Amino acid sequence: MTFSLRRSRACVFVLALAASGGVSARRPPALPAGQLHQLNSVLWMQRSPEYALLARSVFASAQAALPAALAQPGSAAAEQSSLPPGAGAAVIVDLDETMLDNSPFQAWLVRSGAAYRPQDWDAWVARKSAQAIPGAVEFAKAVTAMPNTTIFYVSNRECKGPGACAAKQATMENMRTLGFPRADEEGAFLFKGEEADERGDKVARRARIGRAYRIVMLVGDDMRDFVAKEDADLLARRDPALMARAADLVGRRWFILPNAMYGSWVDRLGKTPAAMAEQLTPADLPARRR
């Protein structure tokens, strides 16, 4: 029997089986269009070995650099111009897409085609089901094992209104389940909205930590985990002076996790896939004929 004849008979068999109800001949329903621009980035984070290994390599590099960061003078934070005498050391880490993996929430947005809404994010936080980024728990434990060194979780998860902060309590329980150190200490978590005079970014919270500790290392997935919004915007425009300073700190005091799903970098590109496409730098090739 030739290959083409075998293939033809196989096709007839599959079609007959589908007609009898043994195999569904229907294609999966099309995904909603609203969030399709995120499909590849969410899949990359959830399925690629490259992402998991890259995250582990960032944390391994940060752990290896920590003794030198502790031994050297100065601060990792621009907000800390003077150091409190005799202060202990602080390592500041972001939470979302730095220590905690929220890709299931992003996947839900893709599958449902829904636009981001704060109430949906709040519902995800309340589920307390985020997993740890690969290498994050081990790094946090290594920080707290260093003498006179404290870890702080500085997040834009938000406390809303007076009284107990539901987002903070849910996050602490989530992180306690995952084995993060200091997960039982409210003072280890600095959330957006806790202080009335905050700018909405992390400048004031880093400055608050810097009044009692020397900030030796910053870990995050967004430039606003390292600098003020204004400086993050300048870095996006490749400001030479700030790029030189950042290049001197990256790999020594600053450690950056990849996040292709969302962040301040996306906010600068437009709100629709068409607007984002306008920001691409394409190759100088002839246009494809339709």
pLDDT at 269: 73
Q: Is residue 162 assigned to a domain?
A: yes
pLDDT at 145: 98
pLDDT at 266: 74
CA distance 147 to 240: 37
Strand order in the sheet with 254-256: 189-192, 149-158, 88-93, 213-220, 254-256
pLDDT at 197: 62
Q: Is residue 275 assigned to a domain?
A: no
Instruction: Match 């990792």 to its residue by tokens.
Output: 76
pLDDT at 24: 46
Number of structural domains found in the chain: 1
Q: Is residue 89 assigned to a domain?
A: yes
Q: Is residue 20 assigned to a domain?
A: no
Q: Is residue 9 assigned to a domain?
A: no
Q: What are 139-179's pLDDT values in tens digits?
A: 999 999 999 999 999 999 999 877 789 999 999 999 999 99
Q: Is residue 149 assigned to a domain?
A: yes
Query: For 23-46, b where at least 16 C-beta lie within 10 A, e where not — what string?
Result: eeeeeeeeeeebbeebeebbeebe
The burial class, CB within 10 Å (0-12 / 13-18 / 19+), for 56 is middle
Segments in the chain below pLDDT 70: 1-29, 197-200, 290
Q: How many CA atoms lie within 13 A of 198 on its CB side?
A: 20
What is the CATH classification number for the domain harbouring 208?
3.40.50.1000
Which domain does 105 fall in, by range?
32-260
Q: Is residue 55 assigned to a domain?
A: yes
Q: Is residue 205 assigned to a domain?
A: yes
pLDDT at 198: 61
pLDDT at 176: 98
pLDDT at 199: 66
pLDDT at 1: 44
